[in-house]
A and B are shown apart, each in its own frame.
Chain A
Amino acid sequence: MKMILRLTKVQLGSALDFISLFRKKNTKPKNKSVSLIFLMTGILFALISGAYSYIFGLSFQMAGQLTLLPGFMMAVVCIVTLTMTIYKVKGTLFGTKDYDILMSLPVPTAYIVASRILLLYCINFFFTAILAIPNMIIYGYLARPPFGFYLRFFFALAFVPLVPMILACVFGILAAAIASKFRHSNLVNTILFLILILFIFSVSFQMQQEGQIAVLGDVLTRQIERMYPLAGMYIHGVVEGNFIQLGAFLAISGSAFVVFCVIIGKLFLKLNTSITGVSTKSNYKIKEYKKTTPFRALFFKEIKRVFSSTIYFLNSCISMILMTIAVLVVIIVKPEQMIQILQVPKMMSLIKQMMPFLFAILVGMTFSAACSISLEGKSLWILRSVPVDVKTIFKSKIAVNLILVLPLLTINTILIGVFFELSILEFAVTFFIPVLYSGLVSIGGLLLNLKFPLLTWTNETVVIKQSAASMLTSLGGMLCGIIPILLLTIFSIPAKWIFAGTALVVGLLILLFWKLLITWGIKRFESL
């Protein structure tokens, strides 16, 4: 046990090094701003969880089903854990940089596997706590439960991420093992992950829909239990104090974890070899080559980088894919529902007014540029040593961000334009406002990445999903989209002023950020 904990401690230190709070003296200097951003993001997520819990809590309270709130949040936490963990299987569980060193040591493989799984658990527990504790506070405020609830809650909290983590690992392993049989394993892996992510989104969307319907009686309980049976046990055990159900929840979670560790321990060597294998043909013959410009060469290099990584691709493109699916659902799958809603007075004009900003929020979540500098990692020397000016390098990264947005945005705008019979002006606004946002997020994201680079990563998931630049860009993009919606709906400012004001502000910000990029940004890049 001591050896497992020792291994876990070392790996945890390495995984969390980017936060730098835990760095000892005489090692790398602490980066206070990155640590602060990480802390503030954690606080923000906790606040969002609290607000979300409060809104649903009130709905459940009206339906007389307040006891469902902790279980509902537990199901949400499980979905978040599942979504976040599947990316980490390759890089944290398998295919790690220290694999050769560790496996050559006189340490049982089972210990190494256990330490890896514990590492995943620690990271997931942190997110579980951020989401679940505010929910507990809100439930405590609304329901005034007895003291026993709080004891049971904190005891069960440790077990909440176990099952979703194991499910994510199983999927991640299966996907990686299947994909490794193909030459284009990354593409296959990406498609499998995309199918799973879309499935998770559809489940969580359905959950929200059913959570918003304040249904009396046992119907809602049964719906939550159907979606995630352990949530039902959690409700009965933790909230209602049923010790048999609580025991079952703990036993199922704990034993699933132990069984998983034992099985993976036995198969670790085989799985790792299978998952990390790369197919080679070794039959290349010299051909004639085409010459292209440095910008195009850099652009295609960047595009290949996005498509070569499942997590980079999904993180960069999932919001545009979801936008397309939502548009198709509205137009093709449920036209009668849409037509019903549109017949509601003023609904049509409200939807037309909000559409550009709804698109802008999704576009703002496509920020490949915000991690493009960090992802150069130890290969940055290549760009630093070639005779290409830094502005061209920046343009190529921004161009990739834009190309991930523009084609699908164009198609979606045309589809929505036809379905909602938008005028030319409405069509132009629906298209150009998100285009401006995409420009802002691309340039702004690149600036943030230059300010907060993370070049010494060993797992690209940390760069793409957990770096300061990625977090700030995604939050900034979302906020920029939400503010006009609030002005439109809450303050009832006329839409034409919002559109004009948004275009002006975002346009000015783009110019300002571009100027900053080609002055400070270039110097910063040269000093990395």
Chain B
Amino acid sequence: MSMLKIKNFSKVYKGGKKAVDKLNLTVEAGDIYGFIGHNGAGKTTTLRAIAGVLDFEEGEIFIDQKSIHEKPIACKQVMAYIPDNPDLYEHLSGIQYLNFIADLFQVDKQQRSEQISKYADAFELTKNLGDSIGSYSHGMKQKLAVISALIHKPKLMLLDEPFVGLDPKAAHLLKGFMAELCNEGSAIFFSTHVLEVAEKLCNKIAVIKGGKLIADGTTEEVKGNQSLEEVFMELIEDFK
């Protein structure tokens, strides 16, 4: 069952810049789907459009069989999105922010307590939850954003460069939580520049260049006998 289906998605910004050009992609339940490409290739635009944060006119995007245009609330209810540099509410404390997000997703009290406890302990952020987000380092904000995405057990998780700013232990933990989520039937679609992580973690890869999809499929199909880095460099050269 497809958790995410992108059909002929295109996005043109004001001034005529075409950021994404007729993108077609499907993410099934259980997939950890890596989305790789050079800077400005269209990764963030795609992720934001799926998350319902960016409006678009061409194409369609379906989350759990529902159109993001026609049923945005229902789509967002089953999703979690973390942008590449999550600007959070600095006037709230960590726990206030988590409760705020949990309220908006209508997470019940018990699940909320369990999830916050589990993830905050794992990321060693528990003792800082009472402090204001304004006092957090970048990495702590990133961890808090990840926790807020996990507490409502999303069916589809969208992450834009999630490992940037995380210390090695937190990055390792995040990979573990991503795998755990997918084993429970969810799907993850994330962009990254760290090709080794994509190679080890993802069962499927898509490569985007200049807004166009130039390769997609299982990790084995995409990289063949080479490393992902070698394949990526070749693909970027071929499509110049």
A282 to B116, CA, bound (A): 16
Which one of B26-34, B106-114, B177-185 is at the A interface? B106-114
The answer on a CB contact under 8 Å between B130 and A290 is no
Cβ-neighbour of A309 out of B91, B104, B129 (below 8 A): B91
**Residues of the A chain whose Cβ atoms lie less than 8 Å from the Cβ of B88:** 379, 382
Q: Nearest Cβ distance between residue A300 and chain B, in whole angstroms?
A: 8
A296 to B127, CA, bound (A): 26
The answer on a CB contact under 8 Å between A387 and B130 is no
Knowing A289-B99, A384-B52 are in contact, say whether A284-B92 is a contact too (CB < 8 A).
Answer: no
The answer on a CB contact under 8 Å between A386 and B131 is no
Q: Which residue of B lies closest to A385 (CB)?
A: B81
A4 to B82, CA, bound (A): 40
Cross-chain pair count, CB within 8 angstroms: 113
In the assembled complex, A304 has its CB within 8 A of some CB on chain B:
yes
Q: Nearest Cβ distance between residue B191 and chain A, in whole angstroms?
A: 15
In the assembled complex, B128 has its CB within 8 A of some CB on chain A:
yes
In the assembled complex, B120 has its CB within 8 A of some CB on chain A:
yes
Q: Nearest Cβ distance between residue B93 and chain A, in whole angstroms?
A: 8
Instruction: Tell me the dominant secondary structure on chain B's binding face.
Output: helix
Q: Nearest Cβ distance between residue A143 and chain B, in whole angstroms?
A: 52
Cβ-neighbour of A386 out of B101, B112, B126 (below 8 A): B101
Q: Which residue of B lies closest to A283 (CB)?
A: B127
**Residues of the B chain whose Cβ atoms lie less than 8 Å from the Cβ of A293:** 103
In the assembled complex, B74 has its CB within 8 A of some CB on chain A:
yes
**Residues of the A chain whose Cβ atoms lie less than 8 Å from the Cβ of B122:** none
Cβ-neighbour of B76 out of A278, A280, A387 (below 8 A): A387
Q: Nearest Cβ distance between residue A520 and chain B, in whole angstroms?
A: 14
Q: Which of B52, B53, B92, B117 counts the most A-chain CB atoms under 10 A from its CB?
A: B53
**Residues of the B chain whose Cβ atoms lie less than 8 Å from the Cβ of A297:** 99-100, 103-104
In the assembled complex, B77 has its CB within 8 A of some CB on chain A:
yes
**Residues of the A chain whose Cβ atoms lie less than 8 Å from the Cβ of B55:** 526-527
The answer on a CB contact under 8 Å between B116 and A286 is yes
The answer on a CB contact under 8 Å between B51 and A301 is no
A384 to B88, CA, bound (A): 13
In the assembled complex, B83 has its CB within 8 A of some CB on chain A:
yes
The answer on a CB contact under 8 Å between A291 and B134 is no
The answer on a CB contact under 8 Å between B53 and A282 is no
The answer on a CB contact under 8 Å between B135 and A280 is yes
The answer on a CB contact under 8 Å between A387 and B73 is yes
In the assembled complex, A288 has its CB within 8 A of some CB on chain B:
yes
Please tell me the number of chain B residues within 8 Å of chain A, measured between CB atoms: 49
Cβ-neighbour of A305 out of B74, B91, B94, B130 (below 8 A): B91
Interface string of A355-374 (1 = CB under 8 A from B): 00000000000000000000
Knowing A291-B106, A387-B104 are in contact, say whether A284-B76 is a contact too (CB < 8 A).
Answer: no
In the assembled complex, B67 has its CB within 8 A of some CB on chain A:
no
**Residues of the A chain whose Cβ atoms lie less than 8 Å from the Cβ of B130:** 281-284
Interface string of A441-478 (1 = CB under 8 A from B): 00000000000000000000000000000000000000
Interface string of B36-55 (1 = CB under 8 A from A): 00000000000010011101
In the assembled complex, B95 has its CB within 8 A of some CB on chain A:
yes
**Residues of the B chain whose Cβ atoms lie less than 8 Å from the Cβ of A382:** 88-89, 101
A289 to B131, CA, bound (A): 17
Interface string of A283-321 (1 = CB under 8 A from B): 111101111111011101100110011000000000000
Beyond the given pairs A284-B95, A285-B127, 11 more chain A to chain B contacts, judged by CB atoms under 8 angstroms and listed by A's residue number, are: A278-B135, A282-B131, A283-B127, A284-B127, A286-B117, A289-B102, A289-B113, A294-B103, A301-B89, A381-B83, A386-B105
25 residue pairs from A and B, CB less than 8 Å apart: A278-B131, A278-B134, A280-B128, A280-B132, A280-B135, A281-B130, A284-B126, A284-B130, A284-B131, A288-B109, A289-B102, A289-B116, A294-B104, A298-B104, A305-B89, A381-B53, A384-B52, A384-B53, A386-B101, A386-B105, A387-B74, A387-B105, A388-B73, A389-B73, A526-B55
